[in-house]
Chain A
Amino acid sequence: MSRLWSLLAAPLALGCAVTSAAALVPVKYDSRDAPFEIPKGTWARRMAGDKVDILPSEIHLVAGTNLVLKNLDSVPQVFGPTLIMPDQTFRLPFDSPAEYQFVCTAHASGQLTVVVAEAPTSALARLRWHARVISENVSRLWKGA
């Protein structure tokens, strides 16, 4: 029994440490930019009937962050009320917490939702935020693989 405990102690301690760190670390980006790229061939894939979403359909940001979209495709992309030309970057700051809807041709649904929240202050809210960011990143890596 004591051997079992000694085997479990290290992973348990590590789990507790990671959870505590996630709860304590303030929510912030390394910079104020949340960058996303529209890859080359996006338009061609859409025209070929490919329904795969290139970008997440919902992006979560903390107020004060800039959404940065870089169009690496060879055709202009519609984003909200504007066009992002090939090789052009569009940086849009979000200062107020709210849910913003944009028409976006890089999405199969043609729609992008940006959810902007105040930076979470409680430990539980920070934990939830970090968990969602990790999950989104893993999901993006999985799709990209």
Chain B
Amino acid sequence: MVRSVARSVALLVLSLVLGLLDVACSDHLRSGVFDPPRTAPNFVLQGSDGSRLTLDRFRGKVVVLEFGFTHCQKICPVTLANLAQVHKHLGAAANEVQVIFVTVDPKRDSPERLRQYLGIFNPAFIGGTGTSDQLEVTSAELNAVRQAYGVVASEAPAEGESAYDIHHSSSIYLIDRDGKLRSLVPFGKPVDDIVHDVKLLLKS
């Protein structure tokens, strides 16, 4: 009798352990996943913090990469506000995460304007634009970065008071500590899901 109870208890414990292991192993990214992940294309840009902005500089951190512009009214403010929330949720671990916002509007987004705009959401966010004073060169540099990621951006007539609008890809990219492009987060993904995915990349 005692032996049979002991066996039942052992089986119960074993199944609980296996169940927990299964849950732990099945934890997966909630956004779009690349398999196998490729190395995220590096770039050399002018940073809004006055530095030379390269992706390689943040090796060892998780990078959250967004493409947008400071005059954007519908997409970028929402995404950046969400990313500011993500930073808060991460607590101390936020120091191991870097948000990079690459402009698709070099005509209007100077490093200083990017710094001021991003500071509204989180002063730790860094903006990036081309390295040259010549618009053509800067535009070409940014265009090359967009192409490397498959990002699309095109000028369009403005709806509000702005001189023009820019239609652009609204997803964000998650790059792991080893510089691998791991995930694409579609616009509108809940903050909790982004926090979950960033935490997962921090662990890996």
Contact = CB atoms under 8 A, between A and B. Distances in A.
Real binding pair: yes
Interface stretch (B6-14, B119-127, B148-156): B148-156
A103 B35 contact: no
Interface in A5-40: none
B27 to A, nearest CB: 14
B170 A81 contact: yes
Residue among B33, B36, B151 facing the most chain A CB atoms (10 A cut-off): B33
Interface stretch (A49-57, A86-94, A131-139): A86-94
B36 A88 contact: yes
A38 B159 CA distance: 38
B164 interface: no
A44 B149 CA distance: 22
Interface of B: 30-36, 38, 149-152, 169-171, 173, 184, 186, 188
A103 B153 CA distance: 12
Nearest to A87: B36
Given A80-B150, A81-B149, A81-B184, 18 more contacts: A78-B150, A80-B169, A80-B171, A81-B170, A82-B32, A82-B149, A88-B35, A89-B34, A91-B32, A91-B33, A92-B31, A92-B32, A92-B33, A92-B186, A93-B30, A93-B31, A93-B32, A103-B152
Nearest to B188: A96
